[in-house]
Structure formats: structure tokens, C-alpha cells
């Protein structure tokens, strides 16, 4: 990448699970899923600000509304992604390192895959900066976390296996979405554990049509699916139930559910103005709320 192309930026969009069925458990303790992941308009922003000599090493600065409290050390998924790419692509130690900046707009540990989206953005940007675009990012992504593979392309996808099997999603209608987070950080392993301890049965994969023509049809289909992690997450964090009732009562909301392992919940609307009004009333509860279009739907590719 020439310095005239700097800074290089990538948006890391929030991933939302419209449904999530737990279909099996692997010997390593991970769960097999059937899930429909879509991407919200709201996003973190990752920037490659400047190259620096290799011996200085990669560095990460973090700002943004959810930046405080997020460590910028080697455990950060952005730096873990950089190391994993270097290793997998057998890159020379003499390649320049980068000063990177993460603007953290998405709540942390909130079921919308913010850290995974950041890791995927780092893989995309650094593969270009280090001119190794021909390296297959999928296995590197999978080694970083179950949600990272789907965040590479940031397109609506059916996620299966533990998240590494990505298949085409039905065609989605133009759809506005509200995201609401009540400010509790939810550790994903604890919610999977609570699901297991509840004794719930595995659920079959969902049966979906090839497309949905409008939000009402999408909502009708989603009612025959489930987020199997929602009940255990509510048992651990009852405020999630309150968030859902507020969303369900908002005007013109077709459907509300928790995403991933929570605590963020989403509402679906045909109209962006209705979604913006709902987000405003949810913010009045003291919660983080965002309204925007679902990405890559029929008329928004
Ligand atoms: C709940 C989802 O967000 C749905 O998209 C993902 O399945 C979780 O993705 P993630 O946060 O990237 O997950 P990882 O960081 O790989 O795993 C965190 C922990 O969640 C549990 N885990 C995760 C994914 C999965 N398919 N089965 C699991 O049991 C495991 O206890 C694991 O140790
Ligand atoms: N760049 C990052 N952004 C957010 N969290 C990060 C990052 N790097 C490391 N982490 C750690 O990863 C954990 C999960 O964060 P993340 O925000 O991705 O959770 P999540 O939204 O629940 O993800 P998922 O929906 O994939 O389960 C947090 O405990 C956090 O400390």
C-alpha cells in the first residue's frame, strides 16, 4: 500500500443473529448452530494510520464511545488478527508494522460480534497492506473466534457448524432495525453453559423460504424459529426481558428478539422513521439504542 493511500479504513459492522438454533454439541464443548446472521448499519471503524519500522511492532490506539475499558494490548482481537495473519501467510519479519486506531462504537461483549468484526476488519486491511490478498482468510478467521468468518464479507449468511460453514441466506427485504443494549456485559461461555444446564433439547435446523418479500413475511417466518440462548441469557440478566418488552411495544415493530448470546436485542421495522422513533424512546430508558438499515438487502446491495 503506498503512503498516498493512507489512512486506510474499514467499517466493522455489527452482526445480528435473526435466529440461533443449537443443533448439536461437539466433543470440544463447542455447540453446532443454525443461525441467520445479518449486518447492521452501525459499525466500529478500524484505521491503518501509518506504517512504522518492523522492530517497533504493531500498535493500537482505541477511542470512541465504548473505547474506555477495552484493553489495547496483545489480547485485543485486532492485534491477535494481525499476528495470526503474519503467521499463517508466513510473512517476513521485516515487513512494516502499523499504527492502528479502533473507534469503538459498538458495545463490548454484547452479542453483536463487535470484537469479531474488528478482527475481520484487521484481516481485510492488513492483507491489502501486506499484499497477501491471495491468502485464504477463512481458516485464520475461524481460529480467532466462531463469529469472525461471517464478519470477513459482512454479508447476510446462514451460519452452520460452529460458525465456520457459511451458506447463502434467503433474499431479504429492505428492512430497518433497532438495536438496544441495556449496558450489561454478557460473557458468551456463561450463556452457553446456562443453556446446557437448563437441560434444553437440541433443535433441528430451520426451514426457510428462498426469499421474503417484505418485513411482515420475514417476521412471520422468524416466529417459527428461536434464539435458543435467549431464555438462559434472560435468566442470568433479567433486564434483557425488559428490553424485549419495550421493543415489542414500540409502534410498527414487526418482530423483536435477542441477538447471539445477548444482551443486545433487535427490533425489525418496515420504515426507518418508525425505527428512529423507537430508538429515541428506548434511549430515554437510559439504554444504548441505534436505528439503521439492515445491510445488503435487495435494494441496498
Ligand atoms: C453466539 C454467537 O455470537 C452466534 O453468532 C457465536 O456462536 C459466538 O461467537 P464468538 O463470541 O466468536 O465465540 P468464541 O469466542 O469462538 O467462543 C466463546 C465461547 O462460546 C462458546 N461457544 C461459542 C460458539 C459456539 N458455536 N459454541 C460455543 O459453545 C464456547 O464456550 C466458547 O469458549
Ligand atoms: N476489539 C475488541 N472489541 C471488543 N471486544 C474485544 C476486542 N478485543 C478483545 N475483546 C474481548 O472479546 C470479548 C467479546 O467481545 P465482543 O464485543 O466481540 O462480544 P460479543 O458481541 O458478545 O460477541 P459475540 O456476538 O461474537 O458473542 C470481550 O470480553 C472483550 O474483552
Instruction: Report the pocket of ligand 1 as residue ranges, CB < 6 Å.
Output: 17, 20, 30-31, 33, 35, 113, 116, 145-147, 162-163, 188-189, 192, 260-261
For residue range 32-90, list pLDDT tens digits in order: 999 999 999 999 999 999 999 989 999 999 999 999 989 999 999 999 999 999 999 88
- The per-residue pLDDT of the chain, averaged, comes to 95
Predicted confidence at residue 4, as pLDDT, reads: 59
For residue range 81-134, list pLDDT tens digits in order: 999 999 998 888 888 999 999 999 999 999 999 999 999 999 999 999 999 999
Q: Is residue 255 part of a domain?
A: yes
Looking at residue 52, which CATH number applies to its domain? Answer: 3.30.230.10
User: Which residues is 48 bridged to in the sheet?
Assistant: 8, 100
Predicted confidence at residue 1, as pLDDT, reads: 65
Q: If you measure from the C-alpha of residue 66 to the centroid of ligand 2, how many angstroms do you get, rounded to a whole number?
A: 11
Domain that holds residue 210: 170-293
Question: Are residue 81 and residue 226 in the same domain, yes or no?
Answer: no
- Cα atoms found within 13 Å of the Cα of residue 220, Cβ hemisphere only: 9
Catalytic residue among 44, 147, 228, 290: 147
For residue range 244-291, list pLDDT tens digits in order: 999 999 999 999 999 999 999 999 999 999 999 999 999 999 999 999
Q: Is residue 299 part of a domain?
A: no
Longest dimension (CA), the chain: 57
Closest residue CA from atom 31 of ligand 1: 189
15 carries an active-site annotation:
yes
Question: Are residue 19 and residue 160 in the same domain, yes or no?
Answer: yes
Best mutation site among 12, 29, 164, 188 for ligand 1, i.e. most ligand atoms within 8 A of its Cβ?
188
Question: Are residue 106 and residue 196 in the same domain, yes or no?
Answer: no
Looking at residue 220, which CATH number applies to its domain? Answer: 3.30.70.890
> What ipTM does the predicted assembly reach?
0.96
Q: 205, 23 in Cβ contact below 8 A? A: yes
As a whole-number percent, the residues of the chain with pLDDT over 70 amount to 97
For residue range 223-232, list pLDDT tens digits in order: 999 999 999 9
Amino acid at each position: 500500500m503506498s503512503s498516498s493511500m493512507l489512512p486506510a479504513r474499514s467499517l466493522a459492522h455489527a452482526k445480528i443473529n435473526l435466529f440461533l438454533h443449537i443443533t448439536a454439541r461437539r466433543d470440544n464443548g463447542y455447540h453446532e448452530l443454525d443461525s441467520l446472521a445479518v449486518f447492521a448499519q452501525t459499525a466500529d471503524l478500524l484505521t491503518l494510520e501509518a506504517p512504522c519500522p518492523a522492530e517497533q511492532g504493531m500498535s493500537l490506539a482505541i477511542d470512541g464511545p465504548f473505547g474506555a475499558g477495552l484493553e489495547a494490548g496483545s489480547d485485543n482481537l485486532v492485534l491477535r488478527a494481525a499476528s495470526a495473519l503474519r503467521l499463517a501467510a508466513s510473512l517476513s519479519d521485516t515487513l512494516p508494522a502499523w499504527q492502528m486506531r479502533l473507534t469503538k462504537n459498538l458495545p463490548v461483549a454484547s452479542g453483536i460480534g463487535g470484537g469479531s468484526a474488528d478482527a475481520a476488519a484487521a484481516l481485510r486491511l492488513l492483507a491489502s497492506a501486506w499484499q497477501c490478498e491471495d491468502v485464504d482468510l477463512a481458516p485464520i478467521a475461524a481460529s480467532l473466534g466462531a463469529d469472525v468468518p461471517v464478519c470477513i464479507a459482512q454479508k447476510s449468511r446462514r451460519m452452520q457448524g460452529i460458525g465456520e460453514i457459511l451458506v447463502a441466506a434467503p433474499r431479504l427485504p429492505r428492512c430497518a432495525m433497532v438495536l438496544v443494549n441495556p449496558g450489561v456485559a454478557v460473557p458468551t461461555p456463561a450463556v452457553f453453559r446456562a443453556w446446557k444446564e437448563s437441560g434444553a433439547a437440541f433443535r433441528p435446523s430451520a426451514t426457510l423460504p428462498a426469499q421474503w418479500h417484505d418485513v411482515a413475511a420475514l417476521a412471520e417466518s422468524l416466529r417459527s424459529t428461536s434464539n435458543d440462548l435467549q431464555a438462559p441469557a434472560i435468566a442470568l440478566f433479567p433486564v434483557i426481558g425488559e428490553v424485549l418488552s419495550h421493543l415489542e411495544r414500540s409502534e410498527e415493530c414487526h418482530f423483536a428478539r435477542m441477538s447471539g448470546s445477548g444482551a443486545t436485542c433487535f427490533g425489525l421495522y418496515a420504515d426507518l422513521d418508525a425505527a428512529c422513533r423507537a430508538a429515541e424512546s428506548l434511549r430515554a430508558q437510559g439504554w444504548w439504542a441505534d436505528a439503521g438499515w439492515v445491510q445488503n438487502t435487495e435494494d441496498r446491495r
